[in-house]
Amino acid sequence: MSDENHSPKMPLKERFMNWGEKKYGSEIISFNRLIEIFIPLLVDHFCLSLINMLNSSMVSSSGAAAVSAVSSVDLMNFFITNIFIAMATGCTVVVAQYVGRGEQ
C-alpha cells in the first residue's frame, strides 16, 4: 500500500480532501470550493428541520390532532421551500451562462 491517500499518518481531513479532489475536482471548480458551497446548504436544511421539530414539540401538549396539523403544514412548507430553492438554482445556472459568455 504505497498510495499516500491510505497512509495512517495522514490526517483524516487531508485524506478526505485528497480523495475528493481526485474524484470530484476539475479544472472549472475545485473540491474545496464545492465543500464551501455545500456547507451553507447543509446548515440551511438542518435549521429548517430543527424549526419543524420545534414547531411539533411546542404543539405536542395540545394533542395528536394539533401535532398532525402542524406536521402537515411543515411538510408543505418544506416542499414549497425546496421548489423555490430549485428555481433559484436554475436561475443561477442561466445567469452564470450569460455572464460567462459576456452578455451582461
pLDDT digits (tens, 9 = 90+) for 8-55: 687 888 888 888 888 877 777 777 888 888 898 899 889 988 988 888
CB 101 within 8 A of CB 86: no
Q: Extract the C-alpha cell encoding 23.
A: 474524484
What pLDDT sits at residue 23? Answer: 81
- Distant-in-sequence, close-in-space partners of 18: CB < 8 Å, separation ≥ 6: 4, 5, 10
Does position 101 have pLDDT exceeding 90, yes or no? no
Parse the chain into domains and list their residue ranges.
Answer: 8-101
- Distant-in-sequence, close-in-space partners of 5: CB < 8 Å, separation ≥ 6: 15, 18, 19, 22
Percent of the chain residues topping a pLDDT of 90: 9
Backbone region of residue 90 per phi and psi (left: phi > 0; alpha: psi in -120 to 50; beta: other values): alpha
pLDDT-derived band at 104 (thresholds 50, 70, 90) equals low
Work out the mean pLDDT of the chain and round it to a whole number. Answer: 82
What pLDDT sits at residue 7? Answer: 57
What pLDDT sits at residue 1? Answer: 46
